[in-house]
Amino acid sequence: MIQIVKTLALAVGASLVLAATAQGNEEAYPSRPVRLVVGLAAGGPSDLLARTIAGGLQTRLGQTVVVENRVGAGGIVAASEVARAPADGYTIQFAAMPAVVFVPFLNEKLPYNQDKDFTPIGTLASYSLFLLAGPAMPANSVADVIKLAREKPGQLTYASGGVGTSNHLSGELLRSMAEIDIRHVPYKGNAPAYQDLLSGRVSMMFDFLSTSQQFVKAGKLRMIGTTGKQRSSFAPDVPSMDEQGLKGFDITAWFGLFVRSGTPQPVVDKLNAALRSTLEMPEIRSKLQEQGYEVTASTPQELATRIKSDVQLWGPIIRKAGIKTE
């Protein structure tokens, strides 16, 4: 009996030591550099956003935050990297909404499970897209686009940076809601898509304000509508698709941070607090707004709820269109 009591005492003591050590490790987090894995090319507007946030997190966490660009397959390469990493909060995924919501529907076989392998930290910014008319497109409103499409079925085209991107799915939603026949022309990135849009080889394109405004200001492209439910504060003169007759048309995309599932909750909470605090920094808010993003802080649960809502919207649309990237 004495030996059993000693054994139990030792086991309890060991458990207490392990628990105290684990708690100490969580409280000390982070004690070394943190990786921010970005599935977007270096130098682009989204990468600039990621590096802006990394700088703020570095200040708040007191540790170096290293941005690693892992480009490929619409964000799959970056997500796979995070899914393989230890669940300790030292590897964070910076992801845009399409990589989280669209990709699981577009790819039948993923090396990870989006629902089970990632834990949300929170959102940091949101954005709407704009429908841009090229020089060869005689339209100044959504009604004009629909009229032209019905007069010339299959002849109007819209460009995108690739299958499954937000500008592709925006065009698909327009095609579906307006019940028109327009053709998708995918490119390997937005840069070559803009070349053909500006030259008149394609009719129109949905894209971000940060990349399109230079061409709009130069008079080379026209903004026909914005995809958000309300008008963008950055372009208040441009009516939404919804107010131009496509009731319910609402594409407000977002950027968020994620860690691998199983990461201790205190670490997730600390990262969320650091993110929210970062977004309150005047210099950070100013940089995001200059890039055309609405600052959008959230809790982990709010991001999880938003993902669920987006999945319910886009799942049926993608399935009905039969879009696949494989």
Q: H helices of 224-293, where?
A: 265-279, 282-290
pLDDT at position 224 is 95
Q: What is the DSSP letter of 65?
A: E
Q: Is the pLDDT of residue 51 over 70?
A: yes
Q: Is the pLDDT of residue 266 over 70?
A: yes
Residue with tokens 């809790």: 299
Q: Is the pLDDT of residue 220 over 90?
A: yes
pTM of the model: 0.81
Q: H helices of the chain, where?
A: 2-28, 45-61, 76-84, 97, 103-106, 142-151, 166-178, 190-199, 209-217, 265-279, 282-290, 300-321
Go through the domains of the chain in sequence order and give each one's CATH number: 35-126+252-321 (3.40.190.150), 130-226 (3.40.190.10)
Q: What is the mean pLDDT of the chain?
A: 88
Question: How far is 113 from 54, CA to CA, in rounded Å?
Answer: 26
pLDDT at position 24 is 43
Q: How confident is the model at residue 9 (pLDDT cuts 50, 70, 90)?
A: very low
pLDDT at position 27 is 56
**Mean pLDDT along residues 2-24:** 43
pLDDT at position 6 is 45
Q: Is the pLDDT of residue 133 over 80?
A: yes
Please state whether the peptide bond connecting residue 30 to the residue before it is cis, i.e. omega within 30 degrees of 0: yes
Q: How confident is the model at residue 52 (pLDDT cuts 50, 70, 90)?
A: very high
Query: Backbone phi, then psi, for 101, in 5-degree steps?
Result: -95, -45
Q: How confident is the model at residue 72 (pLDDT cuts 50, 70, 90)?
A: confident
Could you read off the pLDDT of 277-319 as tens digits, one per residue? 999 999 999 988 887 888 999 999 999 999 999 999 888 888 8
**Mean pLDDT along residues 127-151:** 94
